[in-house]
Amino acid sequence: MSEQRDALKETSSNRALSRDVALAAGVSQSTVSRALRDDPRISSTTRERVRQAAEQLGYVPNRVARNLRERRSRVVGVMVQDIDNAFYTQLLADMHQELLVAGYAFTLIVDPLHLRSDVTRLRNLLDASFDGLIITTATLDSDAPEALHRRGIPIVLSVRSIPGLEVDIVESDNVAAGQLAARHLVSLGHRDIAAIMGPEVTSTTQHRIVGANQVLGHSLPPERVFNGPYSHESGHSHCRRLLQGDRPPTAIMAANDVIAIGVIDAARQMGYSVPDDISVIGFDDIHMASWHSFRLTTVRQDTKAIAVQSARRLIERIEDPDGPVTHDKYPVSLTMRATTAAPK
Amino acid sequence: MSEQRDALKETSSNRALSRDVALAAGVSQSTVSRALRDDPRISSTTRERVRQAAEQLGYVPNRVARNLRERRSRVVGVMVQDIDNAFYTQLLADMHQELLVAGYAFTLIVDPLHLRSDVTRLRNLLDASFDGLIITTATLDSDAPEALHRRGIPIVLSVRSIPGLEVDIVESDNVAAGQLAARHLVSLGHRDIAAIMGPEVTSTTQHRIVGANQVLGHSLPPERVFNGPYSHESGHSHCRRLLQGDRPPTAIMAANDVIAIGVIDAARQMGYSVPDDISVIGFDDIHMASWHSFRLTTVRQDTKAIAVQSARRLIERIEDPDGPVTHDKYPVSLTMRATTAAPK
DNA sequence: ATATAATGTGCATTCGTTTGCTCACTGTAC
DNA sequence: GTACAGTGAGCAAACGAATGCACATTATAT
C-alpha cells in the first residue's frame, strides 16, 4: 500500500518535461521545443525523432511555463450575470465555440453585482492572468470596465454598452427593438401597455424604453414600468401584481424572453388567457420561446452573431491593442408567434 | 494620436512587478513577496512600507509566474455536454460558487463527444494546466477518465459514473430513481409505459432502466425504450412518433426534465392532454419543472448537493492525492405535480 | 584548396514569482 | 569582551518552456 502511495506520488510529479524528451531523442531541450513547434530550422529527421520520443514519453508541454515565457495565457474571462439563464447560456455556447477554434479557453466569471467597484473583485480580475475580458454585465454606472481599460486589459462590452468609453462594443440596436415591439402592439390596437424591464441602469433597458416611447408618442407612465432582474420570477411576480390591480394593461412588454415566460405563467395561473385576455411580447428569441407551450412573440436579436463577434473582437483587440475601436450594432427583427393579439 | 499609441503600448506592458515595488520600498524583491504573503519573518514596519508601495504602484502579482513556481494553477476544468441545457446550467452555477469560495476558478469544457478517445482533445486536457477535472460527461465507454487518472490528474466523476475506475464519484442513486418513477406510474394503474432515455452508454440511463424493470417485474420491451440526447428536441420527436403509432403508451418516463418538457410540448401540440390522455414523468426537478406551464411530476435529484460535493471532493483530491477514494450516492425523491394521473 | 553561404543545433538567458539558505545585526548572558 | 540566540532581510536557485545568438557542420562557389 505504501509502495503504491509512493508510486502515485511519483506519477503525479513525473510528467515528462521537454528536457526528458531531449535526453531520449539525443538532442537539446531547445531543439525539442523547436521541433514540436514546427520551427523550419529543424530538419525533418530530427523533428521526427523528437516527435517519436515525445510520443513515447507522453510529453505534453507545460502550459503555465509557456504562458510565462510568452506573456500571455490564451485564456479569456467571460462575465455573465447568471449562468442559470437561458439567454446567457446560448450566448456562452456560441462564444465558447468561437473562442475554442481560435485557441482560447475561457473561464466564467459570474457577476451578479454589475461590476460596481468591488476592489477585491477587481484585483481578482487583474491578477487572474486573462488575456482579455468579454463583459456582458456592464451597467451605466459600472466603473470596473474603465479601470480595466485604463490598465490596458483588452475588454469588449457585449450585449450591453456604456457610453463614452473607448472600448469595443457589440450589441443589438435596442432602440429599434423597443420601436418594433411597441409598433407591433400599437398596430394591434393596444393603448395600455406595461413594461417589465431589467435593471434601470442597463443600456438595453433604457434604449428599448426610448424606442418604445418614440413609437407611442409619449413616455410610458412610471406606474407602467417595472424594473427587476432578468428572471422568470420577476416576470411572474410583476405580472401577478399587475393583474391583481384595478385596471390591468392589455399588453405586457418584457425585457427578455425569460421574463416574458414568467409573465405568461403568472397570467395562465390566474386564469387569464394569453393572448386573448392579455398580450405578451418578449426580447431575444431564445430557443425556449418557440416551444409549443409558449409560442412567444418576441423581438429577435441575433444572439449568435453577437456571441461570435464579441469573441472575434476581443481576439482582435488582444492581438492588436492599438487597432481602431469598433462598435457593432446588430439589427433586430420581430418574430410573430402566438402571444400577441388585438385587445378585447 | 501616435503619442497616445505609445502611451497605450507602454501601459499594457508596464504592469508593476514585484521588483518595482521592491525598488520603491527600498527592500529586496524577496522581501516584497514575503511581506505581501504575510510571512511572519517580516517586521510589521517593513510589511507596511511594502504594502504602501504596492498599493501606490497598483501592483498585482502575476499569477502565471506564481503558478509556475507553485506548480499549480488553481483552475479546474468542468466538462459538460452542453452549456445550453438547464440541468447542467444549474449544476454549474452551484459548482462555480463552491469552487469560487475555495479559491479556484473554472474553465468550461464542452464535450459533446462523451470523452471517447479523441487524442487531440485529451492532449488539450493534459496540457491545459488544470489542477483537476470534474467530469459530468462520462459514458461507460469513455476512455479519457482512465487515461487522465493514470496520468495522476485529479478527477471526479460527477452525475454519471464508470464502474471499476478508482476515482471519486458523486452521483444520485439512479436505481432508486428508476424504481420511484416506475412505482409511481404503476400505482396509478399504468401498464404500458415508454421510456425516452439518454444515450445507452450512460450509467444514469442504465441504472434507471434497471430500477424501473425491478418494479415492473419485467424488462421494458425494446420498442418502448428510446435513446437519444438530453434535449427538448429528443423528447419532442420521440413523443410525436409514439403518439402517431398504433397503440400509444399511457405514460412516458423521460430521462430528464428537459426531455419531459419536450414530450409535453409534443403531446399538447398533437391535441393530447397531459395528464388526462398521457402521463409524463421526468428526472432532475430543474427550476423549470415547477413553472406553471409545465407543473412537471418528476424524480428529484439533489443537484445542488451533487454540484457542491463534486467541487469539494475534487479539491480534497487535489490537496491530498493519496486520500481514500470516495463514492457519494445521494438519495432521490418524488416531486408530484400535475403531469401524471391514472390512465383513462 | 579556401572563402562563403546555407543549414541545423546548442548554450544560456528570459519570463516573474516563491523559497531554502545564508548572513548581518541587535541584544542578552557569561 | 566574547559567545550565542534571535531577529529581519537578501542572494540566488528553482519552476519549465521559448528564443536570440553563437557556433558547428555541410554544401557551393571561387
Does some domain include residue B264?
yes
Residue A247 grid cell: 385596471
To the nearest whole number, what is the mean pLDDT of chain B? 90
Q: Name every chain A residue with its beta carbon within 8 A of the beta carbon of B292.
A: 265-266, 268-269
The answer to whether residue A271 scores a pLDDT higher than 70 is yes
- CA distances for A224 relative to A161, A203, B203, angstroms: 25, 19, 51
* Long-range contacts at A163-166 (CB < 8 A, ≥ 24 apart): A163/A203, A166/A325
Q: Is the CB of B229 under 7 A from strand C?
A: no
Do B155 and B254 sit in the same domain of this protein? no
Name the residues in A32-61 having a C-beta closer than 7 Å to nucleic acid strand C: 34, 40-43, 45-46
- Number of separate domains in chain B: 3
* Residue-level pLDDT at B1: 33
Render pLDDT for A52-100 as a digit per residue (tens, 0 to 9).
999 999 899 998 999 999 988 888 999 998 888 889 999 999 999 899 8
- CB-based contact A149:A165 (threshold 8 Å): yes
CA-nearest residue to A290 within chain B is B265
Do A188 and A248 sit in the same domain of this protein? yes
Q: Name every chain A residue with its beta carbon within 8 A of the beta carbon of B67.
A: 64
Q: Please give the Cα distance from B215 to B182 (Å, whole number).
A: 6
* Residue-level pLDDT at B272: 97
Helix (H) or strand (E) holding A252: strand A251-254
Do B138 and B34 sit in the same domain of this protein? no
CATH number, domain at B324? Answer: 3.40.50.2300
Render pLDDT for B241-288 as a digit per residue (tens, 0 to 9).
999 999 999 999 999 999 999 999 999 999 999 999 999 999 999 999
**Residue A64: which of B106, B129, B268 has the nearest Cβ?**
B129
Q: How far is B293 from chain A (nearest CA, A)?
A: 6
Q: Is the CB of A24 under 7 A from strand D?
A: no
Does some domain include residue B95?
yes
Q: Is the CB of B127 under 7 A from strand D?
A: no
**Is residue A104 less than 8 Å (CB to CB) from chain B?**
no
The answer to whether residue B240 scores a pLDDT higher than 80 is yes
Residue in B270, B268, B266, B261 with CA at minimum distance from that of residue B294: B261
Instruction: Give distance CA A172 / C1' C16 (Å).
Output: 41
Do B208 and B289 sit in the same domain of this protein? yes
Pairing of strands A297-301, A327-330: unpaired
Do B222 and B274 sit in the same domain of this protein? yes
Do A198 and A289 sit in the same domain of this protein? yes
Ramachandran area for residue A26 (φ above 0: left; ψ -120 to 50: alpha; else beta): left
If you ran DSSP here, which 8-state letter would residue B224 be given? G
Does some domain include residue A235?
yes
The answer to whether residue B13 scores a pLDDT higher than 60 is no
Render the burial of B133-157: b for 16+ CB within 10 Å, e for the rest: bbbbbbbbebebbbbbbebbbbbbb
**Is residue A67 less than 8 Å (CB to CB) from chain B?**
yes
Do B157 and B179 sit in the same domain of this protein? no
Do A112 and A223 sit in the same domain of this protein? no
Does some domain include residue A341?
no
Q: How many angstroms separate the first and last alpha carbons of chain A?
A: 79
Does some domain include residue B67?
no
Render pLDDT for B87-124 as a digit per residue (tens, 0 to 9).
999 999 999 989 988 888 888 888 766 555 566 667 77
The answer to whether residue B233 scores a pLDDT higher than 90 is yes
CB pairs under 8 A between A and B: 141
Do A219 and A324 sit in the same domain of this protein? no
Does some domain include residue B335?
no
CATH number, domain at B51? Answer: 1.10.260.40
**Is residue B15 less than 8 Å (CB to CB) from chain A?**
yes
Do B128 and B155 sit in the same domain of this protein? yes
* Residue-level pLDDT at A295: 97
* Residue-level pLDDT at A179: 98
Does some domain include residue B336?
no
Do B316 and B280 sit in the same domain of this protein? no
Q: How far is A191 from chain B (nearest CA, A)?
A: 28
Q: How far is B265 from chain A (nearest CA, A)?
A: 5
pLDDT band at A115 (very low <50, low <70, confident <90, very high): low
Does some domain include residue B339?
no
Domain range enclosing B279: 174-301
Do A197 and A308 sit in the same domain of this protein? no
Render pLDDT for B289-329 as a digit per residue (tens, 0 to 9).
999 999 999 999 999 999 999 999 999 999 888 899 999 99
* Residue-level pLDDT at B9: 34
* Residue-level pLDDT at A10: 36
Q: Please give the Cα distance from A289 to A297 (Å, whole number).
A: 8
Q: Name every chain B residue with its beta carbon within 8 A of the beta carbon of A92.
A: 83-84, 108
